[in-house]
């Protein structure tokens, strides 16, 4: 969930993208390659009772998070039936008439990213044509969290009417990914050479939003349109479920786009900006995009995991020193989330038509 404002081409031939967060990146061309590989990590060890097993996989995650900010997780322990149900529900929702989907337009909920984001409502990179995708987002709900401290906390999500099983199917998967993410938070603590329980207080009431996306096949060139333009995510890390169509691309250190080819049953995990800030740039929040040239429709379901909105995003102690002081101002996760969310939602071209523009 990040907005990109400009792309220019300088005398060197490099393309330059300025994100809404203020970060500037360059890349060589719009063509992607499968030559550079994204690390594949066997996640079965994160559930091991042996600390040395958990530490071993944490070291692999440490290197991937530091070097490219993306990795595959295989053998993660989540039953694929939940993913299948979410993909079915996504196809069901996006097949609804536009007026039905607009009943839950995101513009009706100020300061939050939940609800429906219509087709071609954003243009993250300023291409000739709007980004060719549509999405539906929902948020953490304490009532759906088996580990919730206070199950009476209200949820900000909005839901379509007369769509039995839709909410239930989405939250069934959300709950599984929430369990996995809490375990990964402990593995990330080990990866940062911290006590395993270091982040436990941050994830009792986490920021844990999710979305389903639909990408029609693109007929315009990559120079004219993206499915979703180049961006970084907001929270700590994202767990992406993608179908077999492919299209996810990652900006590598060599300034080339790297294809994150689908691996059946795997997740693609990427570091997001809040984690990059807390780790003082030790972890890398990597620019990524989607280009759907598969010849068919593409569906995906990213899960965005972050820390409690009320918690300060203080620097991780192993990532700062007198020689390497904190680079970012300290704020709460909620303050950062609200700033980023509203900057993006203001660019939604459907705001005026809906009559309710976000504050």
pLDDT of residue 157: 97
Question: Does residue 92 form part of some domain?
Answer: yes
Question: Does residue 107 form part of some domain?
Answer: yes
Question: Does residue 20 form part of some domain?
Answer: no
The CATH number of the domain holding residue 41 is: 2.60.120.330
Q: Are strands 257-259 and 32-33 parallel, antiparallel or unpaired?
A: parallel
Question: Does residue 12 form part of some domain?
Answer: no
pLDDT of residue 355: 41
Torsion of CA 57, 58, 64, 67, to 10 degrees: -140
**Which residue segment(s) compose the domain that 141 sits in?**
32-353
CB contact set of 282 (below 8 Å; sequence gap of 6+): 66, 192, 316, 319
pLDDT of residue 54: 98
Question: Does residue 177 form part of some domain?
Answer: yes
Secondary structure class of 29 (helix, strand, coil): coil
Question: Does residue 331 form part of some domain?
Answer: yes
| Crossing angle of helices 51-67 and 166-191, rounded to 10° | 90
Question: Does residue 263 form part of some domain?
Answer: yes
Question: Does residue 163 form part of some domain?
Answer: yes
Mean pLDDT for back-to-back runs of 10 residues, the chain (359 residues): 42 61 68 76 97 98 96 97 98 97 94 94 89 97 94 92 96 98 98 98 95 96 91 95 96 87 96 96 94 96 96 94 94 88 83 46
15 contacts 30 by C-beta, under 8 angstroms? yes
Into how many domains does the chain fold? 1
pLDDT of residue 20: 62
């Amino acid at each position: 969930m990040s907005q990109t404002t400009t792309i220019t081409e300088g005398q060197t031939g490099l393309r330059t993208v300025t994100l809404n967060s203020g970060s500037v990146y360059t890349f060589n061309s719009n063509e992607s390659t499968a030559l550079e590989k994204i690390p594949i990590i066997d996640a079965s060890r994160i559930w091991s009772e042996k600390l040395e097993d958990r530490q071993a996989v944490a070291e692999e995650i440490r290197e991937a998070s530091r070097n490219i900010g993306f990795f595959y997780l295989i053998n993660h322990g989540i039953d694929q039936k939940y993913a299948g149900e979410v993909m079915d529900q996504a196809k069901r929702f996006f097949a609804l008439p536009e007026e039905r989907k607009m009943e839950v337009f995101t513009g009706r909920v100020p300061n939050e990213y939940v609800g429906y984001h219509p087709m071609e409502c954003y243009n993250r990179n300023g291409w000739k044509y709007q980004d060719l995708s549509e999405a539906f987002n929902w948020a953490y709900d304490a009532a759906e969290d088996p580990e919730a401290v206070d199950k009476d906390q209200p949820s900000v999500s909005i839901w379509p009417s007369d769509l039995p099983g839709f909410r239930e199917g989405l939250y069934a998967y959300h709950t599984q990914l929430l369990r996995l993410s809490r375990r990964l938070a402990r593995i990330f603590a080990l990866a940062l050479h911290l006590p395993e329980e270091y982040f436990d207080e941050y994830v009792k009431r986490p920021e844990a939003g999710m979305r389903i996306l639909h990408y029609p096949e693109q007929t315009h060139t990559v120079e004219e349109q993206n499915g979703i333009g180049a961006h970084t995510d907001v929270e700590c890390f994202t767990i992406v479920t993608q179908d077999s169509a492919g299209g996810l691309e990652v900006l590598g250190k060599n300034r080339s786009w790297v294809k994150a080819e689908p691996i059946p049953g795997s997740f693609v995990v990427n570091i997001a900006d809040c984690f990059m800030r807390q780790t003082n740039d030790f972890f890398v929040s990597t620019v990524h995009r989607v280009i759907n040239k598969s010849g068919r429709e593409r569906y995906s379901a990213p899960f965005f995991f972050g820390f409690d909105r009320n918690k300060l995003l203080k620097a991780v102690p192993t990532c700062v020193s007198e020689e390497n002081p904190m680079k970012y101002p300290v704020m709460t996760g909620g303050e950062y989330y609200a700033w980023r969310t509203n900057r993006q939602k203001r660019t939604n071209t459907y705001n005026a038509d809906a009559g309710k523009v976000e504050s």
